[in-house]
Amino acid sequence: MDALRVTVKVDFSSWRDTLLTRSISSREPGEPTYLISFIFPDWASQNVQLTWPEQVRELCFDLSRFNSNLYRVSDFVDSLIHNDENENLLLYEETLLYAEFPALDSKVDDRETFRDNTYLIDEHEEVFDILDWLRTKKEVQRIIELKVLDRMVNPHNEERIAAFVKDFGVERLNWRCLDLSLSVFGPNVANDKTSPNDEIKVNDKIKELHLYSSGRRAAIDHWLGSDGIPTLTKVSLTIFRLRL
């Protein structure tokens, strides 16, 4: 990526004791590409010009530092994807190295519990909304690694998870969904909101897989059975995590 070029033009010919500071920090994963700060009087702002290369694009989408203990991720997602006034503020490469989301059930007041009518609760879609926004608005075509710390109760829909994994050609999948069915990654899975006849197979793409177990024997038997992990022909690393 080209280095940042900053041009500062300030006309202080008739003024003295003016303070102007500039700081530039290198990019860290999940942080803004550049941090530029200026301190100067309001009367001088009209004489300051900044220029930098156009089309600076992010290689990752990282919400892992979002404080989901205090704020709802869904509220932040809504504000982000519906911010039409600054839609060109965030630009992304067609291929992202990773997309990472914070724990979605950290806010105690919103945490759901196991109960008989859990299936009647509204489905959660905030991660789907972001992925759809990345694809349709930001023109992201591929995500190599996808990490989502989903809810322990009432997580995202498994079939739509598989559809997005297929759509983005995900190779390393770490989606915390208890007892995730691997059948949804079968050859008949359709891309989300696209043609169901697409020939790309999810089970031919995934190379690393994280599975989260509630301890249910049926789920573990499914993973280790003939219609489970053996169908993921490219997987070289499978990590099992137990809910404690």
Strand pairing report for 95-101 and 60-62: parallel
The DSSP code sequence of 96-130 is EEEEEE--TT--GGG-----TTGGGSPPP-HHHHH
Q: Which residue positions in the chain have pLDDT lower than 50?
A: 1-28, 31-40, 43-45, 52, 116, 194-197, 199
Quote the pLDDT of residue 154. 86
Tokens 């809910």 map to which residue? 243
Give the model's pLDDT for residue 101. Answer: 94
Nearest to 167 by CA among 127, 140, 149: 140
pLDDT at 110: 64
> Are the C-beta atoms of residues 168 and 135 closer than 8 Å to each other?
yes
Decide: 169 and 121 in contact? Cβ < 8 Å. Answer: no
Q: Any residues with CB less than 8 A from the CB of 213 and at least 6 apart, and which?
A: 178, 179, 219, 220, 240, 241, 242, 243
Residues 6+ apart with CB under 8 A from 194: 167
How far apart are the C-alpha atoms of 175 and 156, rounded to whole Å? 10
Q: What is the DSSP letter of 46?
A: G
Asked if residues 138 and 90 have their Cβ atoms less than 8 Å apart, the reply is: yes
What pLDDT score does 239 carry?
82
The whole-model pTM stands at 0.70
pLDDT at 31 (0 to 100): 46
Give the pair of three-digit tokens for residue 234: 């490219």
Q: What would the pLDDT profile of 31-79 be if each residue is shown by its tens digit?
A: 444 433 444 455 444 555 555 456 688 999 999 888 877 888 888 888 8
**Which tokens sit at 104?**
């979605």
